[in-house]
Amino acid sequence: MIFIAHRGLYNEQIGENTISAFDNAFHNGFEGIELDVRKTKDNQVVVIHDSFISRVSNGFGLIKSLTYQQLLKYDFGKSYIERIPLLKEVINRYNNKIILIELKESILIKELNLNNKNMYYISSFNYDYIKDIPKSKQYKKGIINYVFNTNIDLDNIDFIMILDILITDKIYNYYDKKGIEIIIYGVNNNINKNLNKDYIKKTKYII
């Protein structure tokens, strides 16, 4: 079982989705990280969860309304100054890691500038954002979902991420039989104790 750090390993001193949070995760035994991406006004892919910057920085404004150079003026750190990272900056920093990339908006696969140094899982809550991404050996594509969603073409995805408190044997079995990898997220200390032990053992990644 491989542990993935959600938005990196952040705390009161380290901001979420920062280089320090990702470094901290790997320094503390995590084998993978999860991060969120959006595009700036000048089409740079940056790592941030919200559509606005005020919650995680000392600035104000929408990501889509600001250029990357404008974003560099703001501090996204906590105990020391950090700038908003570009996705390419993050993925080029590491080797042989698991990197889960959540699309917060529609972004073309070529705009992600993926390399061959890591294993990538590309996902979104919005199926429209990932449905036209071609399947590839370079990455896996999937959906983040709470329960069954009939709008998803299951033949078009490699994995599904399901919230820990909502995963059941029935749901797990449904996707497992269709050859879709299940990733469980929102896990605290242990996976849902109601889940079949064989399914728990079979789960490769938890977030």
> Which of these, 178, 183, 174, lies nearest to 202 by C-alpha position?
183
> Which of these, 62, 112, 117, lies nearest to 86 by C-alpha position?
112
In a domain, 86, yes or no: no
CB atoms within 10 A of CB 5: 22
Is this model's pTM higher than 0.75 or not? yes
In a domain, 183, yes or no: yes
- Cα-based distances in Å from 125 to 4, 13, 66, 101, 162: 18, 29, 24, 12, 11
> In total, how many domains does the chain have?
1
> Which of these, 32, 23, 9, 42, lies nearest to 89 by C-alpha position?
23
In a domain, 76, yes or no: no
In angstroms, the CA 24 to CA 6 distance is: 12
User: Which one from 6, 7, 104, 141 is the annotated catalytic residue?
Assistant: 6
In a domain, 75, yes or no: no
In a domain, 171, yes or no: yes
Tens-digit pLDDT string for the chain (207 aa): 899 999 999 999 999 999 999 999 999 999 999 999 999 999 999 999 999 999 999 999 999 999 999 999 999 999 999 999 999 999 999 999 999 999 999 999 999 999 999 999 999 999 999 999 999 999 999 999 856 566 789 999 999 999 998 899 999 999 999 999 999 998 877 777 778 898 888 999 999
Helix (H) or strand (E) holding 71, with range, is helix 68-71
In a domain, 25, yes or no: yes
In a domain, 108, yes or no: yes
User: Which one from 3, 31, 49, 154 is the annotated catalytic residue?
Assistant: 49
User: Is 27 part of the annotated catalytic residue set?
Assistant: no
Q: Which domain holds residue 101?
A: 2-37+96-206
Q: Which two tokens stand for residue 182?
A: 């299940």
Amino acid letter at 110?
A: K
In a domain, 161, yes or no: yes
- CATH code for position 147: 3.20.20.190
What are the backbone dihedrals phi and psi of residue 139, each rounded to the nearest 5 degrees, phi first? -155, 170
